[in-house]
Structure 1
Amino acid sequence: MKVLALFILTLFLGKSCESEAQKKMETAQLIYTANSRGFFQEIVIENHKLSIKKDRKRKAVQSKISDADWKELVQLFQEVNLDEIKNLKSPTEKRFYDGAAIAQLKINYDGKNYESQSFDHGFPPEAIKKIVTKINAFAK
């Protein structure tokens, strides 16, 4: 009986935390930009919506994020330490000699703006690699 009660309590608390995390993510705005002389990409994610702009002059293409992708994005967002984003160092420096586009991740959350330092498109800092990879997957 105790085991059953413990299982139900664990399940209830787990669902509560998941719901809270989703509510937090719904108030956040993630903006990933990458650009160089011949390349431009801006991906904006906000409340189950996706906006992709692949040209500086054209309008963004908007779409809805699937529930499975949204759930994965929420989980990856929870893993990011927002206060440390500004201190992350790029693992490569190809952007200095046009070897890669200059990329940056911005997160607007809870009335604050969190901005990463620039890094090479395709080579994000390890701490945000998973979420940046997921964001870029939407653009393909």
Structure 2
Amino acid sequence: MKYFFISYLFILMTINCGTFQDKETIEFVKYETFTRGSTTNISVHPNSIQVKKAGMQTSEYTEEISVKQWKEVLAAMEDIEISSIGRLETSTEDSSRDAAAQAVLSIKKNDSVYITSQFDDGNAPKAVKPLVEAILRLAENVE
């Protein structure tokens, strides 16, 4: 029984460590919004966040983020099947009639970049909404 328990703990720890290592391979997460006259690009990397705005007023800011902040971004991705984000469907199409900006979320993991289809800014698909909100919270304090 003792050996069974130790084996079980070893397997459990291996699975948990493997999951965390898998998340660590994420190189960046990017949220982009665009309309006819402006674009916003928010890139979050393990140690920094960059916010670029172009349009009537152009600006670019980069700030360091803490390990805790990066882990919050990773935690927001826990329930996301990254390889399938390109197949997520949107619930509204306000951007098609200029009622909302268009938005795209991309995640670079290992050597692959996974990109969602376009959706309305402020109305992300349910599966990626917590991640979009985490990115926007980080970007609020950049400048």
Quickly name the TM-score band, shorter chain normalised: 0.7 to 0.9
Alignment of 1:69 with 2:69, yes or no, is: yes
Name the structure 2 match of 1:107: 107
Cα 1:84–1:111 change in 2 (3 A) is same
Name the structure 1 match of 2:34: 35
The 5 A counterparts of 1:72-83 are 72-83=72-83
Name the structure 1 match of 2:21: 20
SS across alignment from 1:131:
helix
How far did 1:76 drift?
A: 1.8
Seq. identity, %: 25
How far did 1:23 drift?
A: 2.5
SS across alignment from 1:95:
helix
Residue pair 2:23, 2:74 contacting (<8 A) in 1 also: yes
Q: 2:47 corresponds to which letter in structure 1?
A: H
Name the structure 1 match of 2:97: 97
Cα 1:31–1:69 change in 2 (3 A) is same
Residue pair 2:49, 2:139 contacting (<8 A) in 1 also: no
Q: Which runs of 5+ in 2 are unaligned?
A: none
Cα RMSD after superposing both structures: 2.6
Name the structure 2 match of 1:50: 49
Q: 1:62 corresponds to which letter in structure 2?
A: T
Q: So what's the TM-score if we normalise by structure 2?
A: 0.78
The 5 A counterparts of 1:109-124 are 109-124=109-124
SS across alignment from 2:86:
helix
How far did 1:115 drift?
A: 0.9
1:61-103 deviation per Cα after TM superposition (whole angstroms, max 9, x unaligned):
1111223221111112232211211111111111011111000
Indicate the larger mover: 81-90 or 59-68: 59-68
Residue pair 2:40, 2:53 contacting (<8 A) in 1 also: yes
